[in-house]
């Protein structure tokens, strides 16, 4: 099981974070999500593929970017 941190482009407030969190949690394989609004990141625990996470977040109106 992986824990990955992603930058969320366009997330500027708590409401945005709730939309992104809901989108991420809807993906099979996601076990836990933690949002950091000031840092503009989402920490995702689980084995869901990045492509699917990115698609769901894009459908919510934001962009998910992998961090090194």
pLDDT tens for each residue of 20-34: 999 999 999 999 999
Q: Is residue 68 part of a domain?
A: no
Evaluate whether residue 25 is within a structural domain.
yes
- pLDDT value, residue 5: 96
Nearest-Å Rg of the Cα atoms of the chain is: 10
Taking the whole predicted model, whether its pTM rises above 0.85 is answered as: yes
The number of folded domains in the chain is: 1
CATH number at residue 21: 3.30.70.100
Position 66 scores a pLDDT of: 85
Residue 65 lies in a domain: no
Please name the residues in contact with 44: beta carbons below 8 A apart, sequence gap of 6 or more.
3, 4, 5, 6, 24, 30, 32, 33, 53
Residue 22 in any domain: the answer is: yes
Residue 66, domain member (yes or no): no
- Residue 1 binned pLDDT confidence (cut-offs 50, 70, 90): confident
Q: Which structural domain range is residue 55 located in?
A: 2-60
């Amino acid at each position: 099981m992986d824990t990955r941190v992603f930058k969320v482009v366009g997330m500027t407030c708590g409401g945005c974070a709730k939309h992104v969190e809901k989108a991420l949690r809807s993906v099979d394989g996601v076990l836990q999500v933690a949002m950091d609004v000031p840092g503009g990141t989402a920490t995702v625990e689980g084995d869901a593929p990045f492509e699917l996470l990115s698609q769901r977040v894009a459908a919510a109106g934001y962009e998910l970017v992998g961090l090194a």
